[in-house]
Amino acid sequence: MAYGAGLSAIGNTPLVRLEKLVPDGAAEVWVKLEGANPTGSYKDRMAISVLGAALEQGRVKAGDTVVEFTGGSTGSALAFVSAVLGLKFTAIFSDAFSYTKQQAMEAFGAEVLVEKCVDGAITHELAERMKARAHSLAAQPGYYYADQFGSPDVRAGYQPLGREIAEALDGGIDVFCASVGTGATLMGTLDGLRAAGGSPKVVALEPTESALLSTGVAGAHNVEGIAVFPAPPFLDRDVLSDIRTVDQDKAFEMCRRLARIEGIFGGGSTGLNVCAAIDLAVELGPGKRVVTISCDHGSKYLGGRIYS
Ligand SMILES: Cc1ncc(COP(=O)(O)O)c(C=O)c1O
């Protein structure tokens, strides 16, 4: 199905090798720059997968309103794809997340309903409140719940990401590491890597401040998009070789170093991913390859604590 000009710009993002931040004697570190997608994040891949399938299968029709609770990246992607497909979009958002993400959703014509946070923190309680509001809205006629935590089309949307990496590196990947929100990116990318013949070790990442996967204990943190739910719906723990934590302040410091030293401009989860990727590369040594993802574009975080 032909969808429209902007949608054809999703995917085929650059894959770059870190040149200066990786110490001598370490493995190569490659970073997929997903900020190059139209709304500046890899969520564009899942939005077209979810809404394209829903439209093709008649679960939603032009004029209906798509609903999701979101930290803003998924919301921006759903707002963008909904606009092009002739759908309306309502986001349940919070003031715990970047205001620029709210503005981006509104730029694509979305309605944004804001749940108030406590002390600026992203917490499990906040996520549950946002979810309940999204569910009650989506229960009304003419509304469609995008279901970023349950739809099988979410994970499928990231398969091309893995295939693109495998093709660019001719399959030679020793470790793939990425931070986990729903787990869809980690698992969908792995599906794509495997479909192209790869079999990397897989390392899941999370902030030390909310080490849910490692300890089961949630905490307040500021790395947007990750470490909120105790059981990420798409994560298959059996495929993991390891789970690692990174301090959020180290992740944010890495964001600034990435921007100033390598010219890679990403958000907090990007800094977290690259911190762990470099550590893994040092442990692996020369002749090996670590791949990770720059999840979204740093311009989404201007005015927040990462860059100011
Ligand atoms: C900036 C950012 N990084 C990482 C993630 C985690 O991705 P996933 O939910 O696919 O695990 C998200 C998800 O919302 C995100 O917005």
pLDDT tens for residues 260-270? 999 999 999 99
Phi, psi angles (nearest 5°) of residue 270: -65, -45
- Segment 87-117, tens digit of pLDDT: 999 999 999 998 888 999 999 999 999 999 9
Identify which of 51, 42, 49, 100 has the alpha carbon closest to the alpha carbon of residue 226. Answer: 42
Compute the distance from residue 296 Cα to the ligand 1 centre, in Å. 9
Give the pLDDT of residue 304. 86
The mean pLDDT of 271-283, rounded to a whole number, is: 98
User: Binning pLDDT at 50, 70 and 90, where does residue 4 land?
Assistant: low
On the question of pLDDT at 228 being above 90, the answer is no
Compute the distance from residue 24 Cα to the ligand 1 centre, in Å. 31
Give the pLDDT of residue 17. 98
Q: Which residue has the tokens 């990116």?
A: 185
As a residue count, the chain comes to 308
What is the rounded distance in angstroms from the CA atom of residue 183 to the CA atom of residue 259?
Answer: 26
Residue 14's CB is within 10 A of a number of other CB atoms, namely: 14
- Alpha-helical regions (H) of 86-207: 99-107, 124-138, 152-157, 159-168, 184-195
Which neighbouring-strand residues pair with 112? 91
Compute the distance from residue 25 Cα to the ligand 1 centre, in Å. 31
Q: Is the model more confident about 178 or about 226? A: 178
For the entire predicted model, the pTM comes to: 0.94
Give the pLDDT of residue 203. 98
For the chain, the average pLDDT equals: 95
Decide: residue 308, CB within 10 A, 0-12 exposed, 13-18 middle, 19+ buried: exposed
User: Binning pLDDT at 50, 70 and 90, where does residue 197 land?
Assistant: very high
SS3 (DSSP) at 159:
helix
Which of 105, 147, 182 maximizes ligand 1 atoms within 8 Å of its Cβ, making it the mutation to test the pocket?
182
Please report, to the nearest 10 degrees, the dihedral formed by the alpha carbons of residues 233, 120, 35, 242 taken in order.
-40
Give the pLDDT of residue 3. 62
Compute the distance from residue 180 Cα to the ligand 1 centre, in Å. 6
Tell me if domain 5-37+158-301 and domain 43-152 are identical in fold.
yes
- Segment 291-300, tens digit of pLDDT: 999 999 999 8
Give the pLDDT of residue 113. 98
What is the rounded distance in angstroms from the CA atom of residue 211 to the CA atom of residue 232?
Answer: 12
Q: Please give the share of the chain, as a percent, with pLDDT higher than 90.
A: 86
Give the pLDDT of residue 160. 98
CATH of domain 43-152: 3.40.50.1100
- List the domain boundaries for the chain: 5-37+158-301, 43-152
> Is it true that domain 5-37+158-301 has CATH number 3.40.50.1100?
yes
Phi, psi angles (nearest 5°) of residue 57: -95, 5
On the question of pLDDT at 2 being above 90, the answer is no
Question: CB under 8 Å to 170, separation ≥6 — which residues?
Answer: none
Compute the distance from residue 73 Cα to the ligand 1 centre, in Å. 8
DSSP, res 36: G
Which of 31, 33, 37, 43 maximizes ligand 1 atoms within 8 Å of its Cβ, making it the mutation to test the pocket?
43
Which neighbouring-strand residues pair with 111? 90
Give the pLDDT of residue 1. 53
Nearest atom within ligand 1 for CA of residue 72? 16
Q: Which amino acid is at 180?
A: V
Residue nearest to atom 14 of ligand 1 (CA): 225
Residue nearest to atom 4 of ligand 1 (CA): 225
Compute the distance from residue 192 Cα to the ligand 1 centre, in Å. 17
Nearest atom within ligand 1 for CA of residue 270? 3
Residue nearest to atom 5 of ligand 1 (CA): 225
The mean pLDDT of 206-224, rounded to a whole number, is: 93
Q: Which residue has the tokens 């229960």?
A: 139
Nearest atom within ligand 1 for CA of residue 224? 1
Tell me the CA distances in angstroms from 107 to 11, 111, 125, 204, one per residue in order: 21, 10, 28, 33
SS3 (DSSP) at 199:
coil
- The pocket around ligand 1, CB under 6 angstroms, is made up of 71, 73-74, 179-186, 224-226, 267, 269, 295-296
Nearest atom within ligand 1 for CA of residue 180? 11
On the question of pLDDT at 233 being above 90, the answer is yes
